[in-house]
């Protein structure tokens, strides 16, 4: 019985090790027609190109911020174009979720600045909703004074830190 098992195993291994014969007429045809793998590569390249454009667009959008006056949370008309760009992108990308990050300068208590950052993020959220962005595509968070862009103790820094930033995340 052991000899029969060994013989069967040897035959099985030999059968697996043999190389299949190729059809030369098929090879000639394949040289003159696009191979399926080449089609997939072209599709991947196109997808990579589209992904690159999308990444560039997201980076451009995320570099935009809405700035506020001292102790205010009213969105100024000068940010209309930026808000339109954000809204159009978010509406066009069915899987996009935009997070609005509200910030404040260092003046005032931590609690006050967290509340002010939240009011600023909410004001931008309301502007996006007016522009047609569904509420379920917008998240908002306040960092208060915890994430300053500049850290000097002058008006130029404080002005830079009174803002709402946009973070886009494409879901699957």
Q: Is 104 inside a domain boundary?
A: yes
Q: Is 158 in contact with 94 (CB distance < 8 Å)?
A: no
What does the pLDDT read at residue 110?
A: 97
What does the pLDDT read at residue 77?
A: 97
Q: Is 33 inside a domain boundary?
A: no
- CATH number of the structural domain spanning residue 93: 3.30.1330.60
Q: Is 28 inside a domain boundary?
A: no
Distance CA 78, CA 55 (A): 26
Total of domains in the chain: 1
Q: 3-state SS of the chain?
A: CHHHHHHHHHHHHHHHHCCCCCCHHHHHHHHHCCCHHHHHHHHHHHHHHHHHHHHHHHHHHHCCEEECCCCCCCCCHHHHHHHHHHHHHHHHCCCEEEEEEEECCCCCCHHHHHHHHHHHHHHHHHHHHHCCCCHHHEEEEEEECCCCCCCCCCHHHHHHHCEEEEEEEECC
Q: Is 10 inside a domain boundary?
A: no
Phi, psi of 63 (to 5 degrees): -85, -10
Distance CA 163, CA 149 (A): 10
Q: Is 65 inside a domain boundary?
A: yes
Q: Is 112 inside a domain boundary?
A: yes
What does the pLDDT read at residue 95?
A: 93
The structure's pTM equals 0.71
Residues of the chain with pLDDT under 50: 1-45
Q: Is 8 inside a domain boundary?
A: no
pLDDT digits (tens, 9 = 90+) for 120-161: 999 999 999 999 999 999 999 999 999 999 999 999 999 999
How far apart, in Å, do the first and last CA atoms of the chain sit?
A: 57
Expressed as residue numbers, the domain containing 160 is 49-170
Q: Is 70 inside a domain boundary?
A: yes
What does the pLDDT read at residue 3?
A: 44
119 is written with which tokens?
């009011």
What does the pLDDT read at residue 149?
A: 94
């Amino acid at each position: 019985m052991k000899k029969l098992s060994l013989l069967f195993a040897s035959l099985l291994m030999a059968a697996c090790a043999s190389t299949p014969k190729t059809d030369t007429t098929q090879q000639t045809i394949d040289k003159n027609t696009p191979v399926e793998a080449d089609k997939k590569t072209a599709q991947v390249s196109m997808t990579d190109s589209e992904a690159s454009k999308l990444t560039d667009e997201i980076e451009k959008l995320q570099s935009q911020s809405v700035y506020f006056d001292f102790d205010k949370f009213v969105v100024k008309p000068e940010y209309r174009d930026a808000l339109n760009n954000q809204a159009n992108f978010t509406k066009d990308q069915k899987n996009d979720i935009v997070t609005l990050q509200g910030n404040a300068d260092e003046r005032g208590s931590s609690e006050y600045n967290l509340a002010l950052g939240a009011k600023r993020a909410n004001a931008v959220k309301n502007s996006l909703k007016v522009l047609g962005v569904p509420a379920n595509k917008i998240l908002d968070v306040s960092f208060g004074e915890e994430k300053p862009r500049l850290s000097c103790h002058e008006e130029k820094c404080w002005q830079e830190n009174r803002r709402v930033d946009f973070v886009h995340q494409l879901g699957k």
